[in-house]
Amino acid sequence: MGRALEEARCAAEAGEVPVGAILLDAAGEAIGSGRNAREADPDPTAHAEVVAIRAAARRRGDRVLDGCTLVVTLEPCAMCAGVILAARVPRVVFGAWDEKAGAVGSVYDLLRDGRLPHPVPEVVAGVRAEECAALLREFFGARR
């Protein structure tokens, strides 16, 4: 989570919502990283998770990221949950809950929705949650 938090801090410094993500392979090696870049790119799909998953898929040369773990500072939204499922990421670790748009247990629970034709990933929530949430509070507090 430390590396994901570093990515989130870099996003905030660039004026982006401070969310960061790291994708680890089965050996624990980082094979993809990302931070929000929706304003910089401009790309509405440039969420940290999507950026990290794209980087890992390119590095692996495969769209299926079995054996990997996605670590992200904020609970993924519905779009990101869909990308996680499409990439077959088997484990997701996140920090802060997203009570407005979260799709991994707070508002929705798309990753564990048995009606979808994808394997159900393991989810570990709340890792360094306060630290992750504090970055977001500081970011949005400075803009209000």
User: Nearest Cα to 50, choosing from 96, 91, 84?
Assistant: 84
Classify the C-alpha dihedral 70-71-77-79 as positive or negative.
Answer: negative
Alpha-helical runs (H) found in the chain: 2-13, 48-60, 78-86, 129-143
- 47 annotated as a binding-site residue: yes
Q: Token pair for residue 69?
A: 């773990």
Residue in 6, 16, 39, 49 annotated catalytic: 49
**Containing domain of residue 122, as a range?**
1-142
- 68 annotated as a binding-site residue: no
Beta-carbon contacts of 15 under 8 Å, excluding residues fewer than 6 positions away, are 39
Residue type, 39: E
- 118 annotated as a binding-site residue: no
Per-residue pLDDT of the chain (144 residues; tens, 9 = 90+): 999 999 999 999 999 999 999 999 999 999 999 999 999 999 999 999 999 999 999 999 999 999 999 999 999 999 999 999 999 999 999 999 999 999 999 999 999 998 988 889 999 999 999 999 999 999 999 887
Question: What's the whole-model pTM score?
Answer: 0.96
Q: What is the CATH number of the domain that holds 37?
A: 3.40.140.10
Q: Rounded to an integer, what distance in angstroms lies between the CA atom of residue 133 and that of residue 29?
A: 26
Q: How many domains does the chain have?
A: 1
**Is 13 a residue of the active site?**
no
